[in-house]
Chains A and B, each alone.
Chain A
Amino acid sequence: MSTPNIPMEKIIEKKPYFKYLRLNKMPTIWCPGCGIGQAFRATCMALDELGIPNDKVAMVSGIGCSSRTPGYFDGFTLHTTHGRAPTFATGLKLARPELTTIVFTGDGDALAIGGNHFIHAARRNIDLTVVLINNWIYGMTGGQVSPTTPTGSYATTTPYGNYEPQFDIAKLAIAAGATYVARGTAYHAMELKKLIMDGIKHKGFSLIEVLSPCTIVYGRKNRMSIEEMYFWFKENTIPVKAWEKLPEEKRAGKIPRGVLYHDDSRPEYTELYWNKVKELSGGEK
């Protein structure tokens, strides 16, 4: 792929987060309007604002459209097996605690095949930042049902509508032991950046669930246009503070967004581990 003719320094001057992009790998494989790009941009902006250099970031993913993100990220990147990203990331983080380690994943990847790894990484409270693209569907494999597909929605494997209940990812993560849990959307791009920033800053397991439209596959199956999908997020998500004040009957169908849970008191896993090593090995690493 050809790189744009504008010199890199000029681009980075205007948009400093561009320094995290592997521009020569562009264009991305994502469909027009897909929300993954928004989440990726928010992640790069968050890193930039936190001033974390490329050489200090590892990004690990599994398999799916969302999991293609590390290929476009100019850091230490691993595109692994379906659902297993948290395991590779755990190994990497334990061995190199100094790296900011981000897991980029999808709803099918993280919660179906990878459900077990997801909850155990949360339970350990290991310092990973998980950006989970919840697009309610299996995008990469062409639109099969996912553990987060809304009940009643159509997918290629639910031609009569989905009759399974949805996972509430945030509640699942909190129950499993995650210490920072937030929900954003691809529509609320700047808010999303802030949520990811706080997630990266947080020392412990952070989950940022990103409601994101799969414009082509989910949209087509459920007769929603790109615009309708973005507007759906605008209309149906409410900042968590406002949501908490809503009476029960008005909450139906609405989704809270923002920081849903934050606990700074629990010890982080790599720190616990390495303190023990220092004690046992007499300080050597």
Chain B
Amino acid sequence: MAKLELKYGNHACAEAAIIAGCRFYAGYPITPSSEIAEKMAELLPKYGGVFIQMEDEIAAMGATVGGSFAGLKSMTATSGPGFSLKQENLGYAFMVEAPCVVVNVQRGGPSTGLPTQPGQQEIMQSLWGTHGDKLIPVFYPGNVQEIMEETIRAFNWAERLRTPVVLLLDEVLGHMRETVDMEQFASDKVEIWDRKMPDVPPEEYLPYKPGEDDVPAIAPYGTPGYRGHATGLHHDYTGFPTTDPETCQELIDRLIRKVKNRQPELEKNEEYKLDDAEIAIVTFGTTARAAKTAVDLAREKGIKVGLLRVITIWPSPEETLNKLAKSVKAILVPELNMGQYVLEVERCAKGEAPVYRLNRANGKIIYPHEILAKIEEIAKGGK
């Protein structure tokens, strides 16, 4: 039995976080993400959790890591400039392996840009934002139902891999209302993962000694006996600073590997009419909704087009994209930015098919007829 409810995108994100077990939220208001904070402020105290509005986004990210180390599933949400401010502490979260979810409801940038209008301009910042090498998974849902699914999935992977996970939305998704089937989120249906706790006595506990899955167990701060040290500096299994080149390389190798090795499990895409497609559209989020309509419109005109909607945008679905490039004559990547994910698609296509772009960064969404026009051009052999 379906249990249909009309939900607002940002609220759906907050409600799903609660379902996932989130009990700590620290944030700073910014459009178009603020309703996530507002909903969390209402819900968390009722669920015995912590909500705090911090003095800025840097602080919010810091407090989120603090909450995570205390053992609570933790989250923060922001947009554009706020996401930039979080970068340093996001890198810290990655380095100390603090599980947490960072939501970025994208607006138009750069700078304060277009506060109340959509953009998909933080693709590269999500992938490469903080300084140093890292691999932080990035999920990008495409409708309100999926906002809930992906929020829960983000928490699950954050806890399971002991890592921060970025959840990208855009203004349109955050501010839209859609029907959600709540049946799948019932407590007996939804799968929830928790972080790995140490299974050794305190004397043997090493907070950064990884298991076979490259993930170390973590005891919440305050657990008697299981004291530990965390630092953003390179560190060994004990958590203490080291400059030993081998240990440092091993640490970075492991931090990247623990995510990279799970790529097949992390990978999530939606395929639409790709079976016989000669032209493939690759995109995500709001733009994918327009692309889907464009596929139907093109099909009506007899052009064989299909859509690959990428949901786990990082780590990239390298093989899937490469296979796709081999099976089609051309790929089109429409994005609400001046060309970011297209670079990933080009990299993965490895020249197997020409990759075309359709870009916009003026706060307006890309409409289906615009994508259709581009497809017709490509089908005719034009640019």
Contacts and interface: CB of A to CB of B under 8 A. Distances in A.
A88 B65 contact: yes
A285 B241 CA distance: 35
A99 B227 contact: no
Given A88-B65, A91-B70, A116-B55, A80 B92 contact: yes
A94 B60 CA distance: 13
A89 B229 contact: no
Interface in B64-78: 64-72, 74
B256 interface: no
Contacts of B56: 116
Interface in A79-115: 79-81, 84, 86-96, 98-99
Contacts of B68: 91
A88 B47 CA distance: 22
B50 to A, nearest CB: 5
Contacts of B70: 91-92, 95-96
B240 A87 contact: no
Nearest to A56: B222
A164 interface: no
Contact of B66 (A77, A89, A280, A281): A89
Interface in A51-93: 54-56, 58, 60, 70-71, 74-81, 84, 86-93
B46 A281 contact: yes
A60 B307 CA distance: 49
A87 B54 contact: yes
A284 interface: yes
A75 B230 CA distance: 11
A11 interface: no
A273 interface: yes
Contacts of A71: 229, 231, 240-241
A58 B221 contact: yes
A91 B67 contact: yes
A94 B67 contact: yes
A276 B51 CA distance: 11
Given A90-B54, A116-B55, A116-B56, A95 B67 contact: yes
Contacts of B71: 95-96
Contacts of B24: 91, 94-95
Contacts of B230: 77-79
Interface string B194-227: 0000000000000000000000000011101101
B45 A276 contact: yes
A95 to B, nearest CB: 3
Interface residues of B, number: 46
A266 interface: no
Q: How large is the interface on A (under 10, 10 to 19, 20 to 34, 35 or more residues)?
A: 35 or more
A280 B41 CA distance: 12
Contact of B89 (A60, A84, A94, A273): A84
Contacts of A120: 54-55, 59
A93 B96 CA distance: 18
A60 B62 CA distance: 11
Contacts of A58: 221-222
Contact of A90 (B49, B66, B228, B241): B66
A277 interface: yes
Q: Which of A76, A89, A117 has the most CB of B within 10 A?
A: A76
B177 to A, nearest CB: 27
B132 interface: no
B292 to A, nearest CB: 40
B66 A78 contact: yes
Nearest to B88: A81
Interface in A36-64: 54-56, 58, 60
Interface of B: 24, 26, 45-50, 52, 54-56, 58-72, 74, 88-89, 92, 96, 220-222, 224-225, 227-233, 240-241
11 contacts: A60-B66, A71-B240, A75-B227, A77-B229, A78-B69, A79-B233, A84-B62, A90-B63, A91-B69, A94-B24, A95-B67
Interface of A: 25, 54-56, 58, 60, 70-71, 74-81, 84, 86-96, 98-99, 116-117, 120, 273, 276-277, 280-281, 284-285
Given A80-B62, A117-B55, 17 more contacts: A58-B221, A78-B96, A79-B233, A80-B65, A80-B92, A86-B59, A87-B54, A90-B66, A91-B24, A94-B66, A94-B67, A95-B50, A95-B67, A95-B70, A120-B59, A273-B52, A280-B45
Closest 6 CB pairs of A and B: A91-B66, A87-B62, A95-B70, A91-B63, A79-B231, A92-B66
